[in-house]
Chains A and B, each alone.
Chain A
Amino acid sequence: MSFFIRTKKKLKKIISRLFKKKQMRIGIYGPPNAGKTTLSNRIVRDWTGDAVGPVSEIPHETRRARRKEGVTIADEKGNAITIDIVDTPGVTTKIDYKEFLEYGIESEEAVVRAREATEGVAEAMHWLREDIEGVIYMLDSTQDPFMQVNIMLIGIIESRGLPVIIVANKNDLPDASSTRIKSAFPQHPVISISGLEGNNVEELYEKMIDFFG
C-alpha cells in the first residue's frame, strides 16, 4: 500500500472519529407477542454473545423496557454501526389481568403482571417521545397489520420524524404474509424475517447499517 493511500485512510479514520455521531438509541416496538424480545436477543447474541431477556408465549412477558448499550453491527464490506438496543413491552390500549389467568397464572400474580405491564407500556410510550432516535417496528406476519394500535404507533413514529424499519416477523410460519404488511405500510422498508429461526436476519442487519448509520 502506498504512503499516500495509507495516509488518506488514517486521515479518514481521524475525521470520522472527530465527527462520529453518538450511538443511536434504537427502540424495538410493536404489539404484544410480535417477537420483539426474540429479535433483541438474536441481535445482542449475534453481536455481543449476550442476551436481553426471557421470552414466552404469554402476552406481556416483557414488562419493563430493557436496554443493551454499545452493540456494534457490521457487514462484510466493513460498514458498521454501534447502537443501543431498547427492547420494549408490547404496546396496547388495554390490559386485563384476567387474560393471564388463561395461561394458568394465579390471580394474585396476574394482577401484579398486569400492573407491571401497564407501567411498562406507559414507560415505552414516554421513551418514544423523549429518548428513542430510531425504531424497528415488529409485526407478526400471521396477523392483520391494520390493527389500530399499529396504525397509531406508526403515525406517532412518523410524526416524530424517526427512521423506522418494519420487520415482518415469523416468516417461518405457514400463514405468514409479508405482502399484507408491505401493502399496509408502503412508505417504509419492510424486511421479512424469522427472529426465532434466524431466516433473513442478515438482510435486516444490512438495512440497519444503511438506515441508522
Chain B
Amino acid sequence: MMTSKSGFNTLVRSSPYIMMALLVIPVMGGLIAVVLPAFGWFPVLGQTQFSVDGFVDLWHTPGIGYMALLSVSTSFISTVLAFIITILILGSYFTSPWLSYIQRLLGPILVIPHAAAAIAIGFLITPSGMLSRLVSPWLSGWDAPPDWLYPHDAMGLSIIVGLTLKELPFLLLMALGVLAQPELGHTLRAQHRVALSLGYCPMTAFFKVVLPSLYPFLRLPILAVLAYASASVEIPLILGPNSPPTLAVAIMQWFHDVDLSLRIKASAGAIVQIILTLLLLLSWWRLEKLIKILSQTMLINGKREYAGAIMQNITHVITVVMISTIGLALIGMMLWSVAGFWHFPDVLPQQFVGLHWQSALQQMHTPLIDTVLIGVCATSLAIILTLFTLEAEQHTSKKVSRLSSVIIYLPLLIPSIAFLFGLVWLFEQINSHHSFINVVLAHLLFVLPYVFLSLSGSYRRLDPRFSAVAASLGASDAKIFWKIKLPMLLAPILIACALGLAISFSQYLPTLLAGGGRINTITTEAVSLANGGSRRTSAVYALVQMFLPALGFLLAWALTGLYQKSSLDHTNKEAHANTLN
C-alpha cells in the first residue's frame, strides 16, 4: 500500500517534467538540426563552413517577397475572419437554442482533416465544380466549364476561404468549451442577463459584458490557429496559387527537391518562416492591446445599442451561407465517391456505382489499422501525461508556470515545417528502425497540446471540496485521483480522447517524415491519392478520413451517456435499498 502510494506520488511529481521534455527536446532538437544547415553546415554535401549563402539564395529567389506576403496575408485575414465570425455567432445566438444546433453542425468540421476539407472546397469553387454546375447552363449559359482562376487565385482568396472554414469551428468549440465550464459559464450568463435587464441589446451585452471575460481564454487557441495558418501546407497546396506559392509550400518543395543543395535554402526558408510566424503572433498581441485601449471608453459609455439588429441579420446570412457551403461540399464529396462518369454541366452523375468504395476498401485495411493504432497510442500517452501533470499541479497547488504553459503550445506555435525535417534527422541518430514508435512520438507532439488544452479547464475547475472531504475521511491522493476525480471527469476525458484521436488521424507531414514512408495512414494515402488523377478515389478516402474521427466523438458521447445512466441507476438502486432498509 505504502509503495503504491509513493509510487503514484513519484509518478505524478515527475509527469510535468516528462511532458516538458517530450515537447521541448524534439522541437528544439529539430530546430537546431535545421538552423545548422541554414547557416551552411551540411556535411553530406561537403559543406562544413558556416555561411549565410542559404539566406542570400533565398533572397534571390524570384517572388520570395510575394511568397512571404501571401503566407502572412492569408493567415492573418483568415484568422481575423474566423475570430469575428466566431464572436458574431456567439453574440447573436448567446441566449438562443440555435447555438447548440450550430455547434452540432460545425463540430464535425473540426475533425475533418485539412486535406479533405481543401479537396471538398476545391470541388465546390472549381470551374467544373458544384456551384458552377448548379447555375449551368440555364443561368450562366456555360456548356463547358468557364476558364476562371478559382481556386489557385494569385491573391490567395481560396486559401482564405479554406482556412477560415477550418479555423472557425475550432475557435467556436473552444469558446463554447469555456462557456460550458459551470462556474464561469454561469457567471457570464448571469451577467449577460443583468445587462439585458438594464436595457442593453443582446449583441451589445455580449460584446460589453461577456467578451472581455471570454477573450483571455481564447487567446492561446487563436494564436495557435494563426501560427498554424501561417505555415500550413495542405490547404495552400490544394487551393493556393503556385506561381509563386506560399512560403511554407515552397520550403517543403525545396526540401523535397532532387537538387540536394536546395536543402540549405530550404533550411534558411524555415528560419524565415519561424520569424514570420513570430512576427504575426507579436502583431496580433500588439493589436489586441491597441483594441483594448481603444475600446476602454466604449465599454463603459453606457450606450445600449450599436445596430444590433443589422449585425444579427448579417450573422444569420453568414451562418446560413457557411453551413450551406459546408453541406454542399460534403454532398459533392459523397456524390463523387459513388459517381460513374459525371459530365459537365450535369448536377448529378449519369450513373451511380459502388466500384470506387469497393476497390478502395480492398486496399485500405492495413492503413486503417495503422491509423487507429497510432491514434490510440499517441492519445493514451497524451491523456495519461496530461492527467498526471494536472494532478501534480494540484499537489503543489500552483498553476503550471507561465513558461511551461507556453511550452505546451510550442509544437503549435512553431511551424512544424521548420522543425520536422530536423526531427527526422534526430530520430535517425537515435532509433531509425522503429518507425512506428517514431510516428507515435511525432503525433504526440501535436496531440498533447490539444488534449491538455481540452482537459485542463475541467480539471482545474473541479470543485476542490470533493477532494477535501475525501482526504478528511482518510483517502490517499491516489485513491482520490482514481476513485473521485477521474469518474467525475469522465465526460471531458472522453472528449479529450476523441479530440486527440482526431488530431492524430489528420497528421500528414509528421506521419510521412517520422515514418519514413513505411507507415501509411488513411491521411497519407488520401493526400498521395489527392495528388493522383481520380476525384472519385480521393472522395472515398476523404470521407473515410472524416468518418473515423466522427466515430471517436460519437463513441465519447455515447459512453458518457451510458456511464451517467448507469451511475444514475446505481444511485437510484442504492436510494431504493436505503428506503427499504
Asked if A and B are interacting partners, one says no
